[in-house]
Amino acid sequence: SQQGEEDPQALSIQEGENATMNCSYKTSINNLQWYRQNSGRGLVHLILIRSNEREKHSGRLRVTLDTSKKSSSLLITASRAADTASYFCATVRVLDTGRRALTFGSGTRLQVQP
């Protein structure tokens, strides 16, 4: 089952507006990551926030993490049409083999109207 649930599932905004996506998770984490996926393509890593961090910035991206609520949010400011994509949060889980794999949230499909 998916570790994280994201809301909204879909979001449509106008260019220039801000977009906020939320992610909740269930288990303890060391870090939480956000990825972006253009339609029919692979995923691209956007940002990683550690469990001892509350907020992190990267360009127009702002990520917050609330470990007490087991939730994170991704804010994209001054959105552009090129930001149209699906956004996933991901947490790391340790497999029986000791390897670390990612578990993804359900994703938010963002549509930015020009």
Partner 1 sequence: GAVVSQHPSRVICKSGTSVKIECRSLDFQATTMFWYRQFPKKSLMLMATSNEGSKATYEQGVEKDKFLINHASLTLSTLTVTSAHPEDSSFYICSAGLAGIYEQYFGPGTRLTVT
Instruction: List interacting residues with partner 1 (CB under 8 A).
Output: 2, 30-31, 33, 35, 40-45, 48, 88, 92, 95-97, 99-107, 109
CB of 9 to partner 1, least distance (A): 9
CB of 53 to partner 1, least distance (A): 13
DSSP type of residue 105: -
Considering the complex, state which of residue 25 and residue 104 has its C-beta at the smaller distance from partner 1.
104
CB of 16 to partner 1, least distance (A): 26
CB of 81 to partner 1, least distance (A): 20
Considering the complex, state which of residue 18 and residue 100 has its C-beta at the smaller distance from partner 1.
100
Considering the complex, state which of residue 78 and residue 82 has its C-beta at the smaller distance from partner 1.
82
Q: Hey, what's the torsion of the CAs at 91, 96, 99, 105, to 10 degrees? A: -20
Question: Which is nearest to 29 in space by CA: 64, 62, 1, 3?
Answer: 3
**Pairing mode, strands 10-14 and 108-113:** parallel
Could you tell me the two tokens for 99?
Answer: 């390897």
CA distance 26 to 88: 15
Considering the complex, state which of residue 44 and residue 78 has its C-beta at the smaller distance from partner 1.
44
Instruction: Please tell me whether the peptide bond between 8 and the residue prior to it is cis, using omega within 30 degrees of 0.
Output: yes
